[in-house]
Amino acid sequence: MNHRERVLAVLNKKLPDRIPMDLCESASFINDPAYFALKNYFNIEGEVEPFRRNFTANYYDPRVLQALDIDFRHVWLKTPTGYQNTMYDDGTFSDEWGVVYRLLGNERAIVKYPLLNADESDLDNYPWLDPYAPGRAEGLAERAHDLLQNTDYAIAAHAAHNYGFFDTAWIMRGFDNFLVDLMINKPFAKRLLGKILDIFLGLHEVYLNAVGPYIHMIAFCEDYGMQNAPFISPELYKEMLQPYHKELFAFIKKKAPQAKIMFHSCGAVYPLIPLLIEAGIDVLNPIQHTANGMDPLKIKQEFGSEVIFHGGIDVQHALAGSIEGAEKEVKNMIDTLGENGGYIVAPANVVSGETPPENIASLYRTAASYGRYDLK
């Protein structure tokens, strides 16, 4: 099988020749220091322009993907023509949503929640971003068409926005405030989520008008899990957030019916998995097995007939530790999540800047050799 055939086999619940491998998907970027170290490890010369700025991971380099024999290539929505984050004298900056951040080393921290003290009337007067601003899809159709016609890679679309409904709402409102809204200020929460939905629908319309015919998978990212439990109960998710997922995912499937929806949520989200499947997801990422209740074997047995699994490779300990630990991690995930197919190997989250390049290379070498179904 070639790269695309391998991925399509898994996405359609068929057995490939080997485990497909992904990297630099929306939830599995490489933080900049690790990217440069990996580039040096493979003796890759010459620079590429960052595909975004003011994040912890800003580079997408097809030469690195080729060196690792990654089965995917990716496309992403752009910021509008001429757009730049607003920079302030104190070193902070604001994004399109009006959220103010400060870079702290290789991380960024929120310093201003623009809707912290807002009421319902303020939502209509807020300067929301324009999803139809010119330039967002510039060159995307041509790139996606070229990848489809002139390569054998599967094509995955990065998330159309950095955060999902829950994340965007609390990032604008403040975490504690939005949790209170979900419980006792429901009209405000629904009005805010409705505003976010309108923007997400617009962004996906622009995005999928350009790349919809060409892609095989599209990402949607938001975090619902702490280390020990979900942030909200399944009942609250079903009441307050699932309706927005259902509407957006139905829109995506109408615009790109062949594309599978990959949903990313870190943490202990086991209680939410049935409801996410009900909402319309096809691929679940990352299966963070270090979190409570996220046992890969149990999740595979319970949900493996309904969703494909993507990710699984622990970035906090296994990938950041020894080569032997990275190899053991990959084999364990292939033996559990990858039993009889249905699994795409990838880091469970963004690869930290301190991760040794040897470990990343070993991850994919091991997956390519150990993950062969045609030799078993």
Q: Which amino acid is at 170?
A: W
Q: What is the pTM of this model?
A: 0.96
Q: What is the pLDDT of residues 156-195, one digit of tens each?
A: 999 999 999 999 999 999 999 999 999 999 999 999 999 9
Half-sphere CA count of 134, side-chain side, radius 13 A: 2
Task: Answer yes or no: is 106 within a domain.
Answer: no
Classify residue 35: in a domain, yes or no: yes
* Interval 210-264: pLDDT, tens: 999 999 999 999 999 999 999 999 999 999 999 999 999 999 999 999 999 999 9
CA distance 287 to 311: 7
Size (the chain), residues = 376
Who contacts 121 (Cβ-Cβ below 8 Å, separation ≥6)? none
Q: Is residue 195 in some structural domain? A: yes
Structural domain contains residue 110: no
Query: Cα separation of 162 and 140, whole Å?
Result: 18
292: domain range? 3-81+116-370
Tell me whether residue 94 is in a domain: no
Give the pLDDT score at 188. Answer: 98
CA 54 – CA 162 distance, rounded (Å): 12
- Greatest Cα pair distance, the chain, in angstroms, is 63
103 within domain boundaries:
no
pLDDT, position 376: 66
Count how many domains the chain has: 1
Task: For the chain, state the CA radius of gyration.
Answer: 20
At 107 the pLDDT is 77
The confidence score (pLDDT) of residue 56 equals 87
For residue 291, the domain's CATH number is 3.20.20.210
- For the chain, residues with pLDDT lower than 50 are none
